[in-house]
Amino acid sequence: MTTALDAIAATRIIVSLPSLGKGSDGTRRSAVRVPVVVEVCVQEGLDVVAVPARDIDVLDAMEPLGGRCVFGVSGVSNATQLEAAADAGARFAVIDLATPELLGLAAARGLTAFAGAFTPMEIARMWDLGPDGIVVQPAEVLGTLYAPHAIAAAPGAPIIAGGVNSYVAQQWLAKGALAATTDEAFFADSLVDGNLGWLRDRARTFATEGRAAPAWPA
C-alpha cells in the first residue's frame, strides 16, 4: 500500500477542509456538500484530503469515492481525536501541539504524523520529537520570503506550508517544501451552495502548481 507520505509527495497539495457548521461570514457549511466537493477535487488530481478532527464523522460519507482518495485529519490536539482518526480510516494526522506521547500513539495506530509549528525554533524543536513531517502554519503570515528559513530550520524534514493560496503554494514548493495545504478561500461557498465550476478552476490551478513543482526531495 502506498504510504500517506508517498501520496502527498505525488500530488504535492493537500486539500484541507475547513470546519463545518457556521463560518466566520455567517454562512453554514454543510456536511452533505463535502463528498461532492471532494469528488471535484479528486477529479482534478487533488486526491489527498484533510478533514478537521472535530468533523471526523464526515469520513463515513466518503465510501462512494471508492478508495480514490487518501484521507487524513487536521487540528488534532489529543489522544481521543487520534484514536477516532485511526478508527475512521484516516491515514495521516496533523497534530497542532505535538508531544512524544501523541506521536507515539500515532505511530502505534499506523498514522503518518505531522507536527504543527511556526517559528524556526518551533520547527526545529518539533522535528527533534520525531514526527514524519512538519506543517508550518499559518505559512502566509511572514510572506513567501520566510519559506527558505522555515525549511532550513529542520534540514531534510518534509515541510508542508499550511493554509495557503496557489501562488504561495508555488513559492514554498519551489523553495523545497514537500507540499502545501489549501486555505479557506479555496472553497469559497462551495460547502454551502456555491458554484462547483469555480471550485474546479481553483482545484485545477493548485494541481498544476503541484505538478510543476521541483522533485522532492531535491
Each residue's pLDDT expressed in tens, for the chain with a length of 218 residues: 679 999 999 999 999 999 998 665 667 788 889 999 999 999 999 999 999 999 999 999 888 787 899 999 999 999 999 999 999 999 999 999 999 999 999 999 999 999 999 999 999 999 999 999 999 999 988 889 999 999 999 999 999 999 999 999 999 999 999 999 999 999 998 999 888 999 999 999 999 999 999 999 87
The answer to whether residue 217 is domain-embedded is: no
Cβ atoms of 159 and 134 within 8 Å: the answer is yes
- CATH classification at residue 170: 3.20.20.70
Predicted local confidence at residue 187, as pLDDT: 94
The answer to whether residue 216 is domain-embedded is: no
Q: How many domains does the chain have?
A: 1
Q: Which helix (H) or strand (E) holds 6?
A: helix 4-11
The residue segments making up the domain with residue 105 are 4-208
Predicted local confidence at residue 165, as pLDDT: 96
What CA–CA distance (Å, rounded) separates 59 from 74? 13
Predicted local confidence at residue 65, as pLDDT: 82
pTM of the model: 0.95
The answer to whether residue 218 is domain-embedded is: no
Nearest to 174 by CA among 143, 206, 209, 202: 209
The answer to whether residue 47 is domain-embedded is: yes
216: which DSSP letter? S
DSSP-assigned states of every residue in 130-175: --SEEEETTTTTT-GGGHHHHHHTSTT--EEEEEE-HHHHHHHHHT
The answer to whether residue 214 is domain-embedded is: no
The answer to whether residue 159 is domain-embedded is: yes
Predicted local confidence at residue 197, as pLDDT: 94
The answer to whether residue 134 is domain-embedded is: yes
Distance between start and end Cα atoms, the chain: 24
The answer to whether residue 99 is domain-embedded is: yes
Predicted local confidence at residue 178, as pLDDT: 98
